[in-house]
Structure 1
Amino acid sequence: MRTHKIAAIPGDGIGTEVIAAGLEVLKTAAARDGGFTLDVETFPWGTDYYLEHGRMMPEDALETLKPFDAIYFGSAGDPRVPDHVSLWGLRLAICQPFDQYANVRPARLLPGIEGPLRGVTDLDWVIVRENTEGEYAGAGGRVHQGHPEEVGMDVAVFTRAGVERVQRFAFELARTRPAKHLTLVTKSNAQRHGMVMWDEVFAAIKGDYPDVETDKVLVDAMTTRMVLKPETLDVIVATNLHADILSDLAAALSGSLGIAPTANLNPEARYPSMFEPIHGSAFDIMGQGIANPVGAFWSAVMMLENLGEARAAANLMQAIERYTGAGEDMPRDLGGQATTKQVTQAVIARLEGRND
């Protein structure tokens, strides 16, 4: 029997609640499949760890994580600590050293969920976000702090190698989908160096993928296209910042941030990839037992796919879709009153073949 080592990092806020729910669902998925087991170790890193130790995770955290097959991550962020401290101390401190350069964020209308776009019943996108450089490279600094002449700089760093590899990843993904269509998003009319390089790399490599139809659009125009012409989009590739913003819009248009998944991939598998729901720590509802765990479940589907457990992934996705399609006991962000526990039990029941 196959065994996959999973590092669970619930993190902050509702991350602890949805990751616990996700692990329960994953245990059921493995039991139903019968061909593999999950060896899960949970790490209590995050803001509580920071307040006790002065850092979000131990100094040797990356060495600890490296032998694992995948990382199942909750969220980073807590009002007690500045957001840039928690993000750079935990999530980005894993993504960048582990070269998880392809951030993949599907967005589609699941059965039974009505999005905010009137008359739109078939929304199915995948946003590919460059995940290790660009606007979040971390280059920059502040000088003359506290004085009127204070300067703060964040420098967007784009390398040709980094741009080309994420674009090729997006092309390869697009050719696996029925529409075989890839849209490049930049802001090259105003940012005439890095963004123009993004355009030029795209033009140079698209001939290697003659089966994929392409177009490109400026990021501001993309926001209106997502709302007014969603049927014209399939796979979208963009920079770290642009895709970060667009994927939140995509999640909202597909019904709720609570259902949206993320995969932070190191496609060459030199390091473990990391899977997380998109919604963040949501401290306003922490501890109330009402967090929507579907985003964590869908992220678990992506993790199972990455581990090579396609059958178990398909079974779990079908259970999620049967749950949302039933239209009963939906969580609060989808118009219902179901608790985290109730949603979890409903998905497990369908995964086990009950309540179909």
Structure 2
Amino acid sequence: MEKDGRRDSVNHHSLAVIPGDGIGHEVVSEALRVLQHVQQISGRFQLDVQHFDWSCQYYLRHGRMMPEDGLSTLSGFEAIFLGAVGFPTVPDHVSLWGLLLPIRRGFDQYVNLRPVKILQGIESPLRRYKAGDINFVVVRENTEGEYSNIGGALRPGTPDEVVIQNSVFTRKGTERVMRWAFELARTSRKRLTAATKSNGLNYSMPFWDEVFRQVGREYPDVDQSLYHVDALASYFVTRPESFDVVVASNLFGDILTDLGGAIQGGLGLAASANINPDRRFPSMFEPVHGSAPDIAGKNIANPVAQLWTAKLMLDHLGYPEEGQWILDAIEATLLAGIKTPDLGGTATTHSFTDAVLSRLPA
């Protein structure tokens, strides 16, 4: 690219693409079309893409969700763009513990970021709220807590069977995700809410509360609140407009973010980022709608979550302006009444993306 006799610098970013299963293939291919167009009109970056077929289908052929050296292979990339994982004949714990969780933990992606926002052109199930009324993010601790792989079974299959699942909360892990959330709140409306359950979990959650208060002393400019997770879930429904940034443990964040997806209009709109803030490892970007095998191959899957996920990836790579182009084009498309069947429209996956492409800057 030549301008004023000088060669423009284009930043190259290596991207591992894992479409996964079901509708993952369809929405990922559409998102890549949008990303390719955005990089062309931006001229500031280029995504060097390599595809991997790791999935439940790969598991059925090889007995593994990814090769033994899968993490080593991925470690050379700057980002991972994932579609969806899951297939009826493969148990969920096999697919989760064979691909997603090894990536999240192996690459220390300790921040799971989920935006909760009513987009223009979308009617929330909470009818009293309109676009712009609800706009917050949930920061979920992503590598330890209740999803720690520690536990076991004693005397399985007998009347005396005992099953133990241990939660692990470290000071390092708890402090760093809270500090990240505080820093994010400083760039927003300076309000941070933490989910707890210290009235029922008498070791882990009092510790969580203590760390929240200790870290919070470093951020006197941020309004801070602690809510029991059951009350917080009700507040997500009764007063979601009051939230800015919410920080939660692994399990609580998982549940709350699906509720957040519901109030913004459905999981077909729900994007997420698994971030390694230190950038020592690649971060991974994925929608959270699942593989939806019942509609796979029908060209009716909603690509919004994958497109919004692409926006989060561009933000992380250092191109927030280009990321906003994508979100603006999505909203303009929805405002024009172009919607996939899950949102009450008749657009196909492909035609919806065509409409988004037509609304990107020229």
Please report the TM-score for the alignment, with normalisation by the length of structure 1. Answer: 0.97
| Number of equivalences | 351
Quote the residue 2:135 is aligned against. 124
Give aligned-pair identity as a percent.
52
Write the deviation string for residues 64-115 of structure 1: whole angstroms up to 9, x where unpaired: 1111110001112111111000000011110011000000000101111110
Q: 2:240 matched to 1:265? A: no
Quote the residue 2:176 is aligned against. 165
For residues 286 and 338 of structure 2, what CA distance do their matches in structure 1 show? Answer: 24
**Does the CA contact (< 8 Å) of 1:126 and 1:236 recur in 2?**
yes
Q: Pick one of 18, 22, 26 that aligns with 1:17.
A: 26
Shift of 1:325: 2.2
Write the deviation string for residues 168-189 of structure 1: whole angstroms up to 9, x where unpaired: 0100111111x21000001110
Mapping for residues 37-186 of structure 1, pairs under 5 Å: 37-121=46-130, 122-177=133-188, 179-186=189-196
Shift of 1:118: 2.3
For residues 357 and 283 of structure 2, what CA distance do their matches in structure 1 show? Answer: 25
Quote the residue 2:6 is aligned against. none
Shift of 1:143: 2.2
Q: Pick one of 258, 263, 269 that aligns with 1:253.
A: 263
* Letter matched to residue 87 of structure 2: D
* Letter matched to residue 64 of structure 1: T
Write the deviation string for residues 153-172 of structure 1: whole angstroms up to 9, x where unpaired: 21111111101100001001
Quote the residue 2:346 is aligned against. 337
For residues 335 and 47 of structure 2, what CA distance do their matches in structure 1 show? Answer: 28
Q: 2:254 matched to 1:244? A: yes
SS of the residue 1:316 aligns to: helix
Q: 2:278 matched to 1:275? A: no
Q: Pick one of 299, 318, 337 that aligns with 1:289.
A: 299
For residues 293 and 203 of structure 2, what CA distance do their matches in structure 1 show? Answer: 39
For residues 305 and 157 of structure 2, what CA distance do their matches in structure 1 show? Answer: 41
Q: 2:12 matched to 1:3? A: yes
**Does the CA contact (< 8 Å) of 1:110 and 1:325 recur in 2?**
no
Please report the TM-score for the alignment, with normalisation by the length of structure 2. Answer: 0.95
Write the deviation string for residues 235-292 of structure 1: whole angstroms up to 9, x where unpaired: 1000111110110111110111111110000000000000001111112211111111
For residues 239 and 293 of structure 1, what CA distance do their matches in structure 2 show? Answer: 28
Shift of 1:337: 1.6
For residues 21 and 151 of structure 1, what CA distance do their matches in structure 2 show? Answer: 47
For residues 283 and 349 of structure 2, what CA distance do their matches in structure 1 show? Answer: 26
**Does the CA contact (< 8 Å) of 1:33 and 1:311 recur in 2?**
no
**Does the CA contact (< 8 Å) of 2:325 and 2:361 recur in 1?**
no
Runs of 4+ residues over 3 Å off in structure 1:
none
Ranges in structure 1 where 5+ consecutive residues have no aligned partner: none
Ranges in structure 2 where 5+ consecutive residues have no aligned partner: 1-9
Quote the residue 2:316 is aligned against. 306
For residues 29 and 152 of structure 1, what CA distance do their matches in structure 2 show? Answer: 50
For residues 45 and 233 of structure 2, what CA distance do their matches in structure 1 show? Answer: 42
* Letter matched to residue 275 of structure 2: L
Quote the residue 1:26 is aligned against. 35
* Letter matched to residue 186 of structure 1: T
**Does the CA contact (< 8 Å) of 1:8 and 1:72 recur in 2?**
yes
* Letter matched to residue 311 of structure 1: E
Q: Pick one of 181, 204, 222 that aligns with 1:194.
A: 204
**Does the CA contact (< 8 Å) of 2:140 and 2:248 recur in 1?**
yes
Shift of 1:309: 1.7
